[in-house]
Amino acid sequence: MGRGSKCGHAILSRYLTRARVFRERLRALFDHERVTAPHKRGGRYFYTRNPGLNNQAALYVRDGAAGADHVLIDPNQWSEDGTTALAEWSASKDGSHVAYAIQEGGTDWRTIRVLDVNTGRILEDEVQWARFTQISWSKDGSGFFYSRYPEPDEGTAFEASLAGHAIYFHTLGTPQAQDRLIHATPAQSNLVHISSVTDDGRYLMIYSTPGSSTVALSVADLSTPDWAVRPLVENFDTEWGVIGNVGTKLFLMTTRDAEHRKIVTLDLADPAPVFTDLVGEQEVVLNDAALFGGRLLASYLVDAKAQVHRYKLDGTPDGVVELPGIGSAGGFLGNPEEPESFFVFTSFDAPSRFTATT
């Protein structure tokens, strides 16, 4: 037994040493900064950043392009075990407020709170039972759109059947009970509805899905008093993604009659709008697109690497964006009224970083 024990200990020691070296090497490889592309709001730039091995990324703000960065929200301070996360967040159009969703213990339920960026004060507003949601501010900053389920019976939050998903508008300074119902489908209670506001604040785009990447598409004109929801696509057999708008002209990315995706337009001023091809399907896959400064960006996957093309708003090619190297590009953010677009670039030998193009 003595000789066997010594032999076993020697073998295990070698394996434990290798495991320790392997673990330390992995830790070193993962210990690098990770950032997202910034959202520009009212002269401020908002983005998330993890300096390395933190459990959660924090939300940062920079006042102006040359300003100093500082932490707005650090979810690493919310729980000792690091399982409470900052989920969805959105800055108001003027950059004065951030609505953010708190996710506890990996659950899909969210609680939405609001931060005053100027003072750092958390407002009394609290929105509960949000789930499968985005957060989008109205143009005037009076409140935000979000998605939620009905409040489950006490003690059944993790057992309740999910039905009745709906989109609401919360006005700052009011209780959640007064939130305005924007869109629901009682006859199809299994559907999930997610919304986003266009950069000019005029349109609320609504994506509805039974639980896949293919969606139905609706729109509400927020310049009208009733915010009536108008269906644009009523079936669920196609992927749709709104890139942006210029006036009533909507730019979208879709798989409709295009397995590799293409870019189409739609005039919302038309009572019976028709989708028109703008940038047709290519032999390579269209992964992402953005609208900024009177131009379109389209990121394609070419030979396992990103290739980003510029297009004029009439679909005419307008050159290729020079990337920092061979890698992937995504998370494109742009505004039709801004001269620059931001995106995240990741190469095979360097961590992700955000960059800009004009």
Contact 100, 89 (CB under 8 A): yes
Cross-strand partners of 184: 166
Residue pointed to by tokens 């309740």:
160
Residue pointed to by tokens 């995240």:
344
Report, as an integer, the average pLDDT of 318-347. 88
Q: Taking 80 as the threshold, does the pLDDT of residue 246 lie above it?
A: yes
Residue boundaries of the structural domains of the chain: 34-197
Report, as an integer, the average pLDDT of 126-135. 98
The pTM (predicted TM-score) of the whole model is 0.89
Largest separation between any pair of C-alpha atoms in the chain: 89
Q: H-type helices in the chain, by residue range?
A: 2-30
Q: What pLDDT was estimated at residue 156?
A: 73
Report, as an integer, the average pLDDT of 186-212. 97
pLDDT band at 125 (very low <50, low <70, confident <90, very high): very high
Lowest mean pLDDT among 103-107, 237-241, 349-353: 349-353
Report, as an integer, the average pLDDT of 216-231. 98
Q: Please tell me the CATH code under which domain 34-197 is placed.
A: 2.130.10.120
Q: How many CA atoms lie within 13 A of 209 on its CB side?
A: 15
Q: Taking 70 as the threshold, does the pLDDT of residue 172 lie above it?
A: yes
- pLDDT-above-70 percentage for the chain: 89
Cβ atoms within 10 Å of 254's Cβ, excluding its own: 21
